[in-house]
């Protein structure tokens, strides 16, 4: 395949200007012990955002990157779960919906000292910690020890409380996937009643900060709220939820990041003088289970499985490419994934597409401006680029990194981008867009 150069490859001067702006975004979004994804739309600390943010922050200050993650680990529950949101007590309850008074985490035994949501997000934290520890030399070992213990508990929670038959992790809410309104959830979500009268009691805050055409619909939002209220009303009990949830999915991106985090933990274990063998065998086990249970020969992609019906969901989404981060994939699977990534569904590396679209360009449901139903996001683009690098596709990986920089140069630190025009959408001054720009430029120097 012939790669065309990214049309908007930035010059050195422009890169320096973008770096300065990115640092400013992260400093403005820092609230004393952690970084908000966006001051307007997301005024608290989000779990996987903090992992992406720490990857960028480490190039400004490794200590600040460590603080970002330790603050999040401070919100870890006694059962090991690292919650999707750690609420900032200084922010009014109604600044974000659903806020602390809706989640009611303080009613749970073993709740952390601050209010949190009760669901989880993709476990990218070990990868971020391992990267920071590499920069820290000896003084980093105190941080490494503390973080390692929290990460072990996080992994034990996923393994013991969140797996289903077959040994893969299962998610109980679309927000747990990080790709909230992905078309892969349309079918499983259809089984969840959408009660619009919920909005007599609750008010969506997100549509005040971004256009309704760029956010999930009211129907989907009503389903999200119903799912969270039911889990909450059963004390966030995972035995209950695995048996009775109206939404239960096995997601390839979450499981891939879980396996990847085991490889990062193995690296940390070696650095801390511990045995790495358990982490390595967990990574191999999850990788194998994914190939066994989520790989589709027909779609040439990893697919999500609805754990209630047992059916694979046919939608081709960026989540299906993220397993590329795993070095243990069979070579034939890697080849097929690269063919799918460069083929009609995603068209990466071609002049008419920027980054990796979140959803199949050929599907009638593709919406280039709506959240996870088409736009390019920088975090998933970065993950696919790392995966391509793992498997020796340096040129294609470089092209995605150039696209990441080019999108920011063209449209600023937006939350997501139109995959064909590169125009920015969603909120502005978005932290992980800034952090990943810093990280990509630092790694390429």
> By C-beta, is 370 or 393 nearer to ligand GLC?
370
Q: Does 178 bind ligand GLC (CB under 6 A)?
A: yes
Strands 301-302, 295-296: pairing kind:
antiparallel
Per-residue mark of binding to ligand GLC, 133-152 (x: CB under 6 A): --------------------
Per-residue mark of binding to ligand GLC, 254-293 (x: CB under 6 A): ----------------------------------------
Shortest distance (Å) from residue 123 CB to ligand GLC: 13
Q: Could you list the active site residues?
A: 180, 415
Shortest distance (Å) from residue 300 CB to ligand GLC: 25
Q: Does 49 bind ligand GLC (CB under 6 A)?
A: yes
Strands 295-296, 249-250: pairing kind:
unpaired
Contact 248, 255 (CB under 8 A): no
Write the CB contacts of 129 (distance below 8 Å, at least 6 apart in sequence).
54, 69, 143, 144, 147, 148, 151, 264, 268
Q: Which residue, chain included where needed, has tokens 């400013």?
A: 24
Q: Does 231 bind ligand GLC (CB under 6 A)?
A: no
Shortest distance (Å) from residue 41 CB to ligand GLC: 8
> By C-beta, is 37 or 355 nearer to ligand GLC?
37
> By C-beta, is 318 or 341 nearer to ligand GLC?
318
Q: What angle do CA 346, 123, 87 make, to 5 degrees?
A: 110
Shortest distance (Å) from residue 213 CB to ligand GLC: 16
**First-to-last CA distance in the chain?**
27
User: What does each C-alpha distance from 82 to 53, 120, 329, 374 come to in angstroms?
Assistant: 16, 6, 28, 28
Q: Residue 121: which of 49, 67, 29 has the closest Cα? A: 49
Q: Does 185 bind ligand GLC (CB under 6 A)?
A: no
Instruction: Give CA–CA dist 324/333, Å, rounded.
Output: 9
Q: Which two tokens stand for residue 382?
A: 């970065």
Per-residue mark of binding to ligand GLC, 367-386 (x: CB under 6 A): --------------------
**Applying CB under 6 A, which part among 19-27, 46-54, 93-101, 417-425 lies near ligand GLC?**
46-54
Q: Pick from 10, 23, 45, 48: which binds ligand GLC (CB under 6 A)?
A: 48
Shortest distance (Å) from residue 415 CB to ligand GLC: 7
Q: Residue 232: which of 119, 154, 308 has the closest Cα? A: 119
Tell me 216's DSSP state.
Answer: -
Secondary structure of residue 370 in the 3-state scheme = coil
Q: Does 46 bind ligand GLC (CB under 6 A)?
A: yes
Q: Does 157 bind ligand GLC (CB under 6 A)?
A: no
Q: Does 37 bind ligand GLC (CB under 6 A)?
A: yes
| Buried/exposed 340-365: b ≥16 CB within 10 Å, e otherwise | bbbbebbbbbbeebbbbbbbbbebee
Residues near ligand GLC (CB under 6 A) are 37, 42, 46, 48-49, 178, 180
């Amino acid at each position: 395949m012939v790669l065309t150069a990214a049309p908007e490859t930035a010059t050195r001067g422009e890169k320096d200007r973008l770096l300065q702006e990115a640092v400013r975004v992260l400093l403005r979004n820092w609230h004393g012990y952690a970084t908000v994804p966006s001051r307007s739309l997301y005024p608290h600390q989000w779990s996987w955002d903090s992992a992406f943010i720490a990857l960028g922050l480490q190039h400004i200050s490794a200590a600040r990157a460590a603080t970002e993650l330790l603050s999040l680990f401070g919100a870890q529950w006694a059962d090991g779960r690292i919650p999707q949101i750690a609420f900032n007590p200084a922010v009014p309850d109604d600044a974000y919906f659903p806020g602390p008074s809706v989640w009611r985490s303080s009613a749970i035994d073993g709740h952390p000292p601050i209010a949190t949501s009760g669901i989880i997000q993709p476990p990218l934290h070990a990868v971020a910690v391992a990267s920071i520890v590499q920069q820290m030399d000896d003084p980093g070992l105190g941080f490494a020890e503390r973080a390692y213990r929290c990460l072990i508990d996080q992994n034990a929670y996923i393994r013991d409380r969140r797996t289903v038959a077959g040994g893969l992790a299962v998610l109980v809410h679309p927000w747990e996937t990080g790709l909230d309104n992905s078309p892969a959830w349309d079918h499983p979500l259809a089984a969840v009643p959408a009660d619009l009268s919920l909005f007599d009691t609750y008010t969506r805050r997100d549509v005040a900060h971004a256009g309704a055409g760029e956010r999930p619909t009211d129907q989907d939002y009503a389903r999200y709220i119903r799912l969270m209220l039911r889990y909450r009303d059963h004390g966030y009990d995972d035995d209950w939820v695995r048996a009775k949830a109206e939404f239960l999915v096995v997601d390839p991106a979450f499981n891939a990041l879980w396996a990847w985090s085991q490889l990062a933990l193995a690296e940390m274990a070696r650095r801390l003088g511990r045995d790495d063998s358990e982490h390595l065998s967990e990574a191999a086990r999850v990788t194998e289970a994914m190939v066994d249970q989520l790989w589709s020969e027909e779609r040439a992609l990893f697919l999500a499985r609805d754990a209630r019906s047992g059916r694979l969901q046919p939608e081709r989404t960026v989540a299906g490419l993220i397993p590329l981060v795993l070095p243990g994939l069979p070579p034939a699977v890697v080849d097929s994934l690269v063919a799918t990534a460069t083929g009609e569904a995603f068209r990466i590396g071609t002049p008419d597409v920027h980054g990796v679209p979140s959803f199949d360009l050929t599907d009638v449901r593709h919406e280039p401006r709506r959240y996870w139903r088409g736009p390019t996001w920088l975090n998933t683009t970065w993950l696919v680029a790392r995966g391509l690098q793992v498997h020796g596709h340096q040129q294609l990986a470089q092209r995605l990194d150039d696209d990441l920089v080019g999108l920011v140069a063209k449209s600023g630190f937006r939350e997501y981008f139109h995959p064909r025009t590169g125009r920015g959408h969603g909120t502005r001054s978005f932290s992980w867009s800034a952090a990943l720009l810093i990280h990509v430029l630092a790694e390429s120097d």
